[in-house]
Amino acid sequence: MKIAVVYNRESRNVINLFGLPNKEKIGLQTIKRVTDALKKGGHQVTALEGDKDLVDRLEHFMPRVVKGERPGMVFNVSYGIQGQARYTHVPSILEMVGIPYVASGPLAHSLALDKVVTKMILCQHGLPTPDFVVLDSPGTPVPGLKYPLIVKPKNEAVSFGLKIVRNESELREAAGVIFDEYRQPVLVEQYIDGREINVGLLGNNPPEALPPVELVFGKDGPAIYTFEDKTGTSGRGISHACPASIGKELNDRSQELAVRAFTALGCCDCARVDMRLDKDGNLYILEVNSLPSLGEHGSYLVGAAHVGLDFMAVVNRLVEAASARYFGTPEPPKLDGEPIDPARRVFSFITQRRDELERRLKEWTDFSSHTADPIGIQEAVRRVRRLFEELGMRPAQAFTDERVAWTWETAQSFEGGTLFIGHLDVPSDLGSPAQMFRRDPEWLYGDGIGSSRAPLVMLEFALRALRSMRQLRRLPVGVLYYADEGRDVRYSAEIIRAAATRAKRVLVLRPGNLGDFMVTQRRGQRNYRFRAVGGSLRPGKLTKKPEALRWMWNKLEAFSQLTSREKRVSLSTVDLKTETMPMHAPHRVTATILATYPDAHVADQLEDQMRALLDKKGPRWELDQISDRPPMKERRATIQLAKKLTRIAEEWDITLKRESSVWPSVAGLVPAKTACLCGIGPVARDVGTPHEAVQRISLVQRTLLLAEFLVREGR
């Protein structure tokens, strides 16, 4: 499990610093001991300051999870930065954003921190606590309690401001210090002359009471545990006796009172209840520490050690207690030989490799293989060849052209099975701005990350999941990668057509569209080169024939009028270049025109209309088709395949919808009789731009979906 140890120590990273600052500090050594213990327990751990950037850091470390996957957890040892009820700040944030955490919630912390409210609740539940009064201001009348008394701030911990007073003068002086330094009411409590007993609690419903620990003060100083004692600045040594030598009856009584106090305040996972035992054998509850110290010599750990729990065991037991509280009691392990649901095995394999998925994606994104980079393409081929050989797949030579397309298949071949098609090239110019891999809480960014890289990583881990179950070799699966997407698949198209004819179903590794869509229908696309050549004219010279640039501009405007939503066709000028002599108007103009269309017949009609708009009155012109990417037509087999994937997605609470797209893909090369889905890769945005990104949760969801689909196809 991913666990973030959240603490407060040095950070003042807040919007404004005002109000009462927190004086409690957790030691660096304690933070390190906690993180080391969790790592030894098999968890992935980070340590974070609980300041205003906490949510962003947690989202980076533990992104959203899929249904059935345990989210990360926070091991909370945060005391807050400033203000009232500081223990509640981090738990409140965690509850708001939906992250489980160890220890009590905001309500229990707020009740326990307010010593007066705690005592009132104890009284309501019939639990013994010393008599008390509250001084709201320096002028409040002296309470009618017998001296000696204990004076302490109403809302502090760690014995801040704690002092024994024996007369009114000492009381006023001690109360004045609290009013000045802590700016809060003063709790005045009857001093119980006797022994101090601490009882730690671990777990829930009900918690387990650890053996009572007695604090042995010695002869020097007051018999109370002061802030100076806790920080080692008092000059005296405080020892612990565990179990406290108070006899079985009082031992049981102290544990019973501790459990009742824990329950009355609504604490969770852990707490420490501090008590006093008077000379007549009466126990009094002083306070409940809802966030007990995990310092090396604290009484909580002393009590745990007596029942055989060392520091590592205590820390990991707290995680187990919180996990049981959030997720229910873990299921017992399966008996040897009992079959395990393949879906659960696939789920576990993929969700336990979230970080590995993102690391692999970073490796691919930071590696360049643009369409016009033959060296990069060769390296990409070498990498995928090594990958599929490692997965036990063999080259399919009949569908391989070492220049542009490569195919691998399982021992069962892919005839009558599933063929995946993806591209290795990043279809953009080498000079285009590129971004290195980076991530934010919701998105992963990088060069070609949506168009090429994330679908490849998704496929790798889906196949690895099946291989881990020894199912991949039994499935008829093929993988075809080509490297001329940026050249409109001019050279690999025939190989793709031939391979797709052999398969029963084809899944095209293109990114899913925003809104959690896959694609069942795509328009075709043709690219035209339109060129006009006129005479070389000086600016301002009049001629019977219009200048090449003006003539071209008018024709391009006329072409744009052929766009029709009703006919589902569009014409757009995507590039325009001129050639000119010095001090002359352009004599040669070349435009690139992109046309989208639903079927070849409509495309032919559109081209005829374009040519009809041209005449011999203007400059010489040429209109040449330079590429044609066929449309992907929706077919019954495709709809059935889409419904099958959608049913699987619904079982995992993964949103999956289908739509049509105006952009082409190699899905248009798949024969009409073959079921074909496109856009099954992780959801992406801004594809083809320097801001290209894939959704982090979608990377896991689509990998899980693909692996589960293959498992079911193999049944």
Residue 547 within any structural domain of the chain = yes
What is the spatial distance between Cα 201 and Cα 364, in angstroms, rounded to a whole number?
49
Q: Which residues are registered as beta bridge partners of 478?
A: 409, 419
pLDDT tens-digit series, residues 410-425: 999 999 999 999 999 9
Q: Give the residue from 142, 134, 140, 92 showing the smallest Cα distance to 115.
A: 134
Cis ω on the peptide bond leading into residue 148 (within 30° of 0)? Answer: yes
Place of tokens 């809060």: 184
| Share of residues in the chain with pLDDT > 70 (%) | 93
Do 301 and 294 touch, CB atoms closer than 8 A?
yes
Residues 537 and 637 in one domain: no
pLDDT for residue 327: 83
129 has a pLDDT exceeding 90: yes
CATH number at residue 512: 3.40.630.10
Q: Are residues 455 and 557 in the same domain?
A: no
Note whether 622 and 648 are same-domain residues. no
Q: What is the sign, positive or negative, of the torsion defined by CA atoms of 408, 410, 414, 417?
A: negative
Are 464 and 354 in a shared domain?
yes
pLDDT of residue 483: 97
Claim to verify: residue 204 and residue 261 sit in the same structural domain: yes
Q: Give pTM, 2 decimals.
A: 0.76
On the question of pLDDT at 220 being above 70, the answer is no
User: Of 417-421, 542-546, 583-587, which one has max mean pLDDT?
Assistant: 417-421
Whether residue 323 is found in the same domain as residue 417: no
**Is 428 contained in some domain?**
yes
Q: Which pLDDT band holds residue 541 (cuts at 50, 70, 90)? A: low
Across the range 244-256, mean pLDDT stands at 95
Residue 538 pLDDT exceeds 80? no
For residue 173, is it within any domain? no
Question: Is residue 402 domain-shared with residue 510, that is, in the same domain?
Answer: yes
- Positive or negative, the Cα torsion across 551, 555, 556, 561? positive
The answer to whether residue 182 scores a pLDDT higher than 80 is no
Average pLDDT of span 293-303? 89
The pLDDT of residue 335? 35
Q: Which of 260, 295, 327 is the last residue of a domain?
A: 327
At residue 500, the 3 state secondary structure works out as: helix
- Lowest-confidence pick of 303-312, 541-550, 572-581, 590-599: 541-550
Task: Tell me what the mean pLDDT of segment 66-72 comes to.
Answer: 81
Instruction: Identify the residue with better confidence: 315 or 237.
Output: 315
- Structural domain for 53, as ranges: 2-102
pLDDT attached to residue 261: 97
297 or 118, which is more confident? Answer: 118
For residue 48, the model assigns a pLDDT of: 94
As for how many domains the chain has, the answer is 4
Position 337 scores a pLDDT of: 40
Residue 61 CA to its chain's centroid (Å): 6
> Which whole number is the average pLDDT over 107-113?
94
Can you give the pLDDT at residue 292? Answer: 93
Q: Is 52 helix (H, G, I), strand (E, B) or coil?
A: coil
Which carries the bigger pLDDT value, residue 469 or residue 333? Answer: 469
Q: Are residues 251 and 307 in the same domain?
A: yes
pLDDT band at 547 (very low <50, low <70, confident <90, very high): confident
If asked whether residues 608 and 671 sit together in one domain, one would say no
Mean pLDDT computed over 559-568: 94
Please report whether residue 313 resides in a domain.
yes
Q: Is residue 671, in this structure, part of any structural domain at all? A: yes
What SS3 class is residue 504? coil
Given a cut of 70, whether residue 680 has pLDDT beyond it is: yes
Please name every residue paired with 533 in a beta bridge, in sequence order, or none if there are none: 588, 620
CATH number reported for the structural domain that contains residue 97 in this entry:
3.40.50.20
* pLDDT range class, residue 339, cuts 50, 70, 90: very low
Low-confidence winner among 6-10, 331-335, 505-509, 559-563 (lowest mean pLDDT)? 331-335
The CATH number assigned to the domain holding 563 equals 3.30.70.360
Phi, psi dihedral angles at 607 (to 5 degrees):
-65, -40
Residues 482 and 510 in one domain: yes
Residue 351 has pLDDT above 80, yes or no: yes
Q: How far is CA 655 from CA 459, 640, 643, in A?
A: 19, 17, 13
Find, among 430, 413, 509, 407, the residue nearest to 462 by Cα. Answer: 509
Task: Please check whether residue 464 lies inside any domain of the structure.
Answer: yes
Give the tens place of pLDDT for each residue, 251-270: 999 999 999 999 999 999 99
236 confidence band (pLDDT: 50, 70, 90): low
Does 124 lie in the same domain as 98? no
Domain boundary among 597, 628, 659: 628
- With a cut of 90, say whether residue 47 has pLDDT above it: yes
Whether 425 maps to a domain, the answer reads yes
Q: Average pLDDT, stretch 477-489? A: 96
The reported pLDDT for the residue numbered 80 is: 86
What lies within 8 Å, CB to CB, of 245 at 6+ separation is 214
Domain CATH code at residue 208: 3.30.470.20
CB 464 within 8 A of CB 456: no
Which tops the pLDDT comparison, 679 or 351? 679
Read off the pLDDT band of 19 (50, 70, 90): low
| pLDDT higher than threshold 90 for residue 328 | no
Higher-scoring residue by pLDDT: 431, 116: 116
3-state SS, 394-409, equals EECHHHCECCCEEEEE
| 435 has a pLDDT exceeding 50 | yes
Task: Provide mean pLDDT across the span 647-654.
Answer: 92
Helices and strands (H, E) in the chain, number of each type: 19, 31
> Does 340 fall in a domain?
no
Supply the mean pLDDT for the chain: 90
- Assess whether 534 and 660 both reside in one domain: no
381, pLDDT greater than 70: yes
Long-range contacts of 552-557, Cβ-Cβ distance < 8 Å, separation of 24 or more: 552/576, 552/589, 552/591, 555/530, 555/613, 555/614, 555/618, 556/530, 556/591, 556/593
